[in-house]
Amino acid sequence: MSEMSGAAALMAALEKEKVDYIFGLPGGANLPIYDALVDSKIRHILVRHEQSAAHMADGYARIKRKAGVCFATSGPGATNLVTGIATAYADSSPIIAVTGQVALPMIGKDAFQETDIIGVTNPVTKYAFQPRVASEIPEMVKKSFYIAESGRPGPVLIDIPKDVQQQVTKMEFPEYIKVRGYNPIVDADLSEINKACEMILKAEKPMIMAGGGVILSGAFSELQALAELLSIPVVTTFKGKGAFPENHPLALGPIGMHGHAEANKMVQEADCILAIGARFSDRTVGRFDEFGKDINVIHFDVDPAEIGKNKSVNAAVIGDVKSSLRSLIKLIPKNLRTNEEISKLWLGRKRELVNYYEDSIKDYSREITAKKALKKLREILPADGIVTTEVGQCQMWASLHFDVISPGTFFSSTGLGTMGFGFPASIGAKAARNDIPVVDIAGDGSFSMTENSLAVSVLEKLPVIVFLLNNQMLGMVAQWQRTFYNRRYSGVHQKNCPDYCKLAESYGAQAHRVGSMDELEKSLKVAIKSDIATVIDIPIDPDEDVYPFVAPGTGLKDMIIGA
Amino acid sequence: MQKNKISIFDDDNENKMYILSVIVENKPGVLFRITNLFRSRNFNIESITVGITEKPDLSRMTITTVSDVKTLEQLVKQLQKLIDVIQINVLNKENAVYRELALIKMNAKDPTTRIEIANFATIYRGNIMDISNETITVEIIGTPDKIDAFKNLVSSYGIIQVARTGVSALPRGAVNDDL
């Protein structure tokens, strides 16, 4: 047992958790923590706005598959984190947010830069700690990582009053901790798996719907093994995009509001849906009452509260989906011969639908379109390149036209739909894997919300590529105004301000504005090799819409495939 | 460990009163987390009581809610997700003893009124807690139904103030919290 300050104990506890990056910004109430940071081996990434720190920790977590850490001071520093914390909560991403707080005697006195951040973040954190004495810090840090990373992951807040950071006392760093009210289920009930197995084997037109839970649990090979074993076509949710290689013969891509047409169509023809780590969100299923109506729906999930929340199901397998899938695969008889004729018909239907929609969905015709640009990106980017997105049309085009080949290399703000997420998150992803190119598929509206992270990317040598589909519009809102409000545009024109090339150059980043597909190809090749952040400004037509489109409040059967 | 031990999830889809007996960590912020969950998920609290248990580090919250079974199931699961929640028992009229205390102050300027109310209170096994020239205050202990019945009975005298504690409950017999 050694004597040290609360701040030093925090850093030591983070080092014990093998934290290698902290994204943050100092202020009055976390000065002791920043002082302790000087003596730490952990690399600190100074951000220009705390929201970006939380997104960077989130992006880091999604690629590293362990908790990302961000720091902010009290009051406005802490409240600036909130959007990032809410984003991580909506997408079940483990981040640890450490905020400074005013000293204990000042709490409740409306002190300068005092905010009840635990109260503010309560609905969007998995848990929150506030140490009252410094000796509590090591155990709280260890519990934070355990809670954030296990079960259904999520953000945890540690709010440390300034005097607690400064208090010097004897510290004990526990090897083991127990949280008595928290016992995430790992191994599922075998009888439910049996029931699920029978339903799947009985089905003639089974379909797998893979969600974000497959990615979180790293169940890629198990998912692929199951699909191949029984020749089951695989659709994903948007968050599950890339849980299954999208160039695989059984892959149909994401379903939902802007899902692939063939996926949306075929999921309605299935006679059994196996949802794995998915939560039946409104954006995925359209209408809860229509989706999977009168057929067997099987739900695998780690979170018991997801069972029956949006959709009543016929079998519920609660546990880590990787472990559940392994048990399920073991139950399938080795010498099982699927009824080949039935299976052939079902897979034939898949090809039929793919061909049908390939012919019937008309391409928007221009020299450069979002679709063509994204197909080019896929062609040039290595299969293991990491891709994230901003939010809006750019995001939905990415979902439709960018095939993820290597599982787990794609992520986006899918639950909260946070504009400004992609760019800082891509920097976090780069910190997690600096050996692989990282691309942020961006729109001008979303990128402009956190563009100041260019400074971070350049100064911290975490180069990412901003693939900027620039229509000078808040494009998705404009599309809805075109579709539902009779083209009465309201508050959507961003115009050509700023000049993104000049903006990037002023930060010391590289920039290319491309006017043709050839130029796009060339600048992508340069950017991938570059060791400095690159913004590729790709002007596209503001009238280019995202199709297919399932209007809100309607079911997948009401999908519109073009204007 | 399954936090919820009593299964009540039948197919009945009518709104009913349920009593949740919830064992939680006895520390600051827990009540806030629970009430905030009810608010953010649009669940409804009829009453909530909190007090420490036989173990000083644990509190028992008794929450009454009116809901259908599907909503109740979701409510219980969301409560179980809270890390400060150790255990939940879903109780109902058959498997639990449950009591509420109410203080009811009525107009009673006329001496015969005071006698009448005192008689009613005796029938309801209530106690007269306070009496003045103008008012009478009665304590009634029982199920919420019994308290409602007494309130209806005396409403014609003019009820001035009511304070109710909300329901406290324990499972009947040898059901142990097993903590």
Instruction: Tell me which residue of A21, A211, A70, A61 sits closest to A149, measured CA to CA.
Output: A61
Q: Provide the pLDDT for residue B38.
A: 92
Surface of B (110-169) touching A: CB under 8 A: none
Quote the minimal CA–CA distance from A309 to chain B in Å: 6
Contact, A533 vs A509, CB < 8 A?
yes
Q: What is the DSSP track for A355-377?
A: HHHHHHSPPPPSSS-HHHHHHHH
- The owner of tokens 């043709």 is A516
Contact, A117 vs A30, CB < 8 A?
no
Tally of structural domains, chain A: 3
If asked whether residues A148 and A7 sit together in one domain, one would say: yes
* A contacts of B82 (beta carbons < 8 Å): 181
* B contacts of A126 (beta carbons < 8 Å): 83
> How far is it, in rounded angstroms, from Cα B123 to Cα B31?
37
For chain B, what is the radius of gyration of the CA atoms?
Answer: 19
Surface of A (158-187) touching B: CB under 8 A: 179-183
Amino acid identity for residue A439 in this structure:
V
B106: Cα separation from own chain's centroid: 23
> How far is it, in rounded angstroms, from Cα A428 to Cα A426?
5
B30 and chain A: CB distance < 8 Å anywhere?
A: no
Q: Provide the pLDDT for residue A365.
A: 85
The two structure tokens encoding residue B147: 């308290």
Q: Is residue A401 in a domain?
A: yes
Contacts of A324 (CB under 8 A, 6+ apart): A188, A193, A300, A317
Mutate to test the interface with A, among B43, B81, B87 (most CBs of A within 10 A): B81
Cβ of B74 within 8 Å of Cβ of A181? The answer is no
Answer yes or no: is pLDDT of B177 > 60.
Answer: no
Cβ of B40 within 8 Å of Cβ of A308? The answer is no
Instruction: Give the one of B29, B40, B86 whose C-beta lies nearest to A181's C-beta.
Output: B86
> How far is it, in rounded angstroms, from Cα A544 to Cα A532?
31
Contact, A138 vs A174, CB < 8 A?
yes
If asked whether residues A482 and A355 sit together in one domain, one would say: no
Q: What is the dihedral of CA A521, A413, A51, A40, to 10 degrees?
A: -80
B88 and chain A: CB distance < 8 Å anywhere?
A: no
Q: Provide the pLDDT for residue A341.
A: 79
The residue annotated as part of the active site, out of A66, A126, A143, A162, is A162
Instruction: Tell me which residue of B37, B40, B81, B83 sits closest to B63, measured CA to CA.
Output: B37
A133 and chain B: CB distance < 8 Å anywhere?
A: no
* B contacts of A310 (beta carbons < 8 Å): none
Chain B residue with minimum CA distance to A143: B83
Q: Provide the pLDDT for residue B17.
A: 86
If asked whether residues A355 and A374 sit together in one domain, one would say: no
State the residue range of the domain holding A438. Answer: 370-546
The two structure tokens encoding residue A357: 């929609």
Quote the minimal CA–CA distance from B94 to chain A in Å: 27
B178 and chain A: CB distance < 8 Å anywhere?
A: no
> How far is it, in rounded angstroms, from Cα A270 to Cα A265?
9
Q: Is residue A552 in a domain?
A: no
Find the helix packing angle between A261-269 and A340-360, rounded to 10°: 150
More confident residue, B124 or B16: B124
Chains A, B: CB contacts within 8 A come to 37
Instruction: Tell me which residue of A292, A293, A298 sits closest to A226, measured CA to CA.
Output: A298
Cβ of B77 within 8 Å of Cβ of A127? The answer is no
The residue annotated as part of the active site, out of A101, A476, A479, A559, is A476
Contact, A279 vs A307, CB < 8 A?
no
Q: Provide the pLDDT for residue B175.
A: 64
Quote the minimal CA–CA distance from A147 to chain B in Å: 9
Alpha carbon separation from A134 to A85, A100, A299 (Å, rounded) = 25, 13, 44
A112 has catalytic annotation = yes
* B contacts of A305 (beta carbons < 8 Å): 74, 77-78, 80-81
* A contacts of B83 (beta carbons < 8 Å): 126-127, 147, 179, 181-182
Cβ of A305 within 8 Å of Cβ of B29? The answer is no
Q: Is residue A365 in a domain?
A: no
Pinpoint the alpha helices (H) of A302-414. Answer: 321-331, 340-360, 370-380, 393-401
Cβ of A180 within 8 Å of Cβ of B81? The answer is no
Cβ of B1 within 8 Å of Cβ of A305? The answer is no
* B contacts of A146 (beta carbons < 8 Å): none
Query: Running DSSP on this structure, what letter comes out for residue A239?
Result: T
The two structure tokens encoding residue B170: 């324990």
If asked whether residues A157 and A210 sit together in one domain, one would say: no
CA angle A340, A342, A348 (to 5 degrees): 95
> How far is it, in rounded angstroms, from Cα A390 to Cα A466?
10
The two structure tokens encoding residue A548: 């297919």
Answer yes or no: is pLDDT of B26 > 60.
Answer: yes
The two structure tokens encoding residue B151: 């309130």
Cβ of B25 within 8 Å of Cβ of A126? The answer is no
Quote the minimal CA–CA distance from A86 to chain B in Å: 14
If asked whether residues A353 and A438 sit together in one domain, one would say: no
Q: Which of A304, A328, A359 is the last residue of a domain?
A: A359
* B contacts of A303 (beta carbons < 8 Å): 81
Q: Provide the pLDDT for residue B11.
A: 52
Query: Running DSSP on this structure, what letter comes out for residue A546?
Result: P
A303 and chain B: CB distance < 8 Å anywhere?
A: yes
Cβ of A122 within 8 Å of Cβ of B84? The answer is no
Q: Provide the pLDDT for residue B95.
A: 85
Provide the pLDDT confidence category of residue B5 given band limits of 50, 70 and 90: very low
Q: Is residue A331 in a domain?
A: yes
Q: Provide the pLDDT for residue B1.
A: 39
**Every domain of chain B and the residues it spans:** 16-92, 97-168
Cα first-last separation, chain B:
11
If asked whether residues A396 and A350 sit together in one domain, one would say: no
Per-residue pLDDT of chain A (563 residues; tens, 9 = 90+): 679 999 999 999 999 999 999 999 999 999 999 999 999 999 999 999 999 999 999 999 999 999 999 999 999 999 999 999 999 999 999 999 999 999 999 999 999 999 999 999 999 999 999 999 999 999 999 999 999 999 999 999 999 999 999 999 999 999 999 999 999 988 999 999 999 999 999 999 999 999 999 999 999 999 999 999 999 999 999 999 999 999 999 999 999 999 999 999 999 999 999 999 999 999 999 888 899 999 999 999 999 999 999 999 999 999 999 999 999 999 998 767 667 778 888 989 999 999 999 888 888 889 999 999 999 999 999 999 999 999 999 999 999 999 999 999 999 999 999 999 999 999 999 999 999 999 999 999 999 999 999 999 999 999 999 999 999 999 999 999 999 999 999 999 999 999 999 999 999 999 999 999 999 999 999 999 999 999 999 999 999 999 999 998 899 999 998 87
If asked whether residues A61 and A166 sit together in one domain, one would say: yes
A113 has catalytic annotation = yes
Cβ of A181 within 8 Å of Cβ of B32? The answer is no
If asked whether residues A429 and A516 sit together in one domain, one would say: yes
> How far is it, in rounded angstroms, from Cα A68 to Cα A411?
15
Instruction: Give the one of A118, A183, A305 whose C-beta lies nearest to B78's C-beta.
Output: A305
Cβ of A308 within 8 Å of Cβ of B73? The answer is yes
String of b and e for B110-144 (b: at least 16 CB within 10 Å)? eeebbeebbebbeebebeeeeeeeebbbbebebeb
The two structure tokens encoding residue A511: 């920039």
Q: Provide the pLDDT for residue A338.
A: 64
Instruction: Give the one of A119, A180, A309 whose C-beta lies nearest to B86's C-beta.
Output: A180
Q: Provide the pLDDT for residue A472.
A: 97
Contacts of B106 (CB under 8 A, 6+ apart): B117, B135, B136, B137, B138, B154, B157, B158, B159, B160
Answer yes or no: is pLDDT of B153 > 70.
Answer: yes
If asked whether residues A151 and A200 sit together in one domain, one would say: no
* B contacts of A119 (beta carbons < 8 Å): 32
DSSP-derived pairing of the beta strands A156-161 and A206-210: unpaired
The two structure tokens encoding residue A104: 């204990």
Q: Provide the pLDDT for residue B92.
A: 82
Q: Provide the pLDDT for residue A344.
A: 87
Preceding peptide of A548 cis, ω within 30°: yes
Instruction: Give the one of B24, B36, B74 whose C-beta lies nearest to A309's C-beta.
Output: B74
Alpha carbon separation from B89 to A395, A547, B25, B83, B93 (Å, rounded) = 44, 49, 15, 16, 13
Contact, A270 vs A244, CB < 8 A?
no
Provide the pLDDT confidence category of residue B176 given band limits of 50, 70 and 90: low
Cβ of A182 within 8 Å of Cβ of B83? The answer is yes
One fold for both B16-92 and B97-168? Answer: yes
Instruction: Tell me which residue of A468, A439, A443, A442 sits closest to A381, measured CA to CA.
Output: A439
> How far is it, in rounded angstroms, from Cα A511 to Cα A466?
9
If asked whether residues A197 and A221 sit together in one domain, one would say: yes
How many C-beta neighbours within 10 Å does residue B101 have?
Answer: 16
Q: What are the pLDDT digits (tens) for B115-143?
A: 999 999 999 999 999 999 999 999 999 99
String of b and e for A516-541 (b: at least 16 CB within 10 Å)? eeeebeebbeebbeeeebbbbbbbbe
> How far is it, in rounded angstroms, from Cα A55 to Cα A421?
6
Chain A residue with minimum CA distance to B179: A180
> How far is it, in rounded angstroms, from Cα A31 to Cα A52?
20
CATH superfamily, region B16-92: ACT domain (3.30.70.260)
Does 2.60.40.10 match the CATH number of domain B97-168? no
Q: Is residue A364 in a domain?
A: no
- 3-class DSSP assignment, residue A497: coil
A491 and chain B: CB distance < 8 Å anywhere?
A: no
Cβ of B80 within 8 Å of Cβ of A304? The answer is yes
If asked whether residues A374 and A513 sit together in one domain, one would say: yes
DSSP-derived pairing of the beta strands B58-67 and B16-25: antiparallel
Contacts of B112 (CB under 8 A, 6+ apart): none
Q: Provide the pLDDT for residue A479.
A: 96
String of b and e for A123-132 (b: at least 16 CB within 10 Å)? ebbbbbbbbe
If asked whether residues A125 and A250 sit together in one domain, one would say: no
Instruction: Give the one of B33, B40, B83 whose C-beta lies nearest to A179's C-beta.
Output: B83
A50 has catalytic annotation = yes
Task: Give the CATH number of the domain where residue A242 resides.
Answer: 3.40.50.1220
> How far is it, in rounded angstroms, from Cα B80 to Cα B20?
12
